[in-house]
Amino acid sequence: MRFTVADSVDAYPTRVAEHIEASRWFLIDWVGWRAFHWDLEADSLGAGSGNGILEGAMRFDGIEFRYVPGTSRPSMQVYVDQLEMVQREPTGVDGALSATPESFVLSPAYPNPFNPTTTIGYAVGVVGRQSPVVSNVRLAVYDLLGREVAVLVDEQKAPGSYQAQWDAAGFSSGVYVMRLMVASASGNPQFVASQKIILMK
């Protein structure tokens, strides 16, 4: 299977884009769930109907499947559970961006579903019009019974954008909740956000 995107859609506002770029082919050689992704910045392109170059505005076009005689099984079932487009932001050496965010954000985990590691981005904003001050940041993982199973971040952070990674190699498959809690240096709550993440082994 492979992903396809319509490329240069901004050049064809009134009709279908002529360039369809494709990812490389992914071999479906497993039973059960698996998360995989197409990195538009780093991965090579397949042979689509485009020019082999990602340029201009893009739009998700679809997922293609190919039958290979003598290799592929005669039939199969494929379920697409979750499709996400994630835009990454470059980070500095210390993991914080140079630009200071003005709000608190918990970004979608990537990949999600995952096995066994996932990366979570979050931003610590400036409180009101105050000069940048540190905040108490806690990023933790909970199971569906509300039990805390992992703590990824529990420290003071200056305003900035950060990333944390959870290696769930020792955990069982299932749905977990990622929760970001931010409090001022004096302990007053400033921000709380949660998201579901799915570990599939």
pLDDT digits (tens, 9 = 90+) for 105-138: 898 898 988 999 999 999 888 765 554 577 899 9
Least Cα distance to 179 among 140, 151, 122, 137 occurs for 140
DSSP letter, residue 93: T
Same domain, 78 and 159: no
Same domain, 65 and 117: no
Question: Has residue 114 been placed in a domain?
Answer: yes
pLDDT digits (tens, 9 = 90+) for 92-102: 444 444 456 77
Q: Which domain holds residue 30?
A: 1-83
Whether residue 89 has pLDDT greater than 80: no
Whether residue 148 has pLDDT greater than 80: yes
Of the three residues 83, 113, 138, the one that is the final residue of a domain is 83
Whether residue 55 has pLDDT greater than 80: no
- Number of domains within the chain: 2
pLDDT band at 168 (very low <50, low <70, confident <90, very high): very high
Q: What is this structure's pTM?
A: 0.53
Q: Report how far residue 106's alpha carbon sits from residue 137's, in angstroms, rounded to the nearest whole number.
A: 12
The per-residue pLDDT for 132 is 58
Query: Residue 145 CB: number of other CB atoms within 10 A?
Result: 6
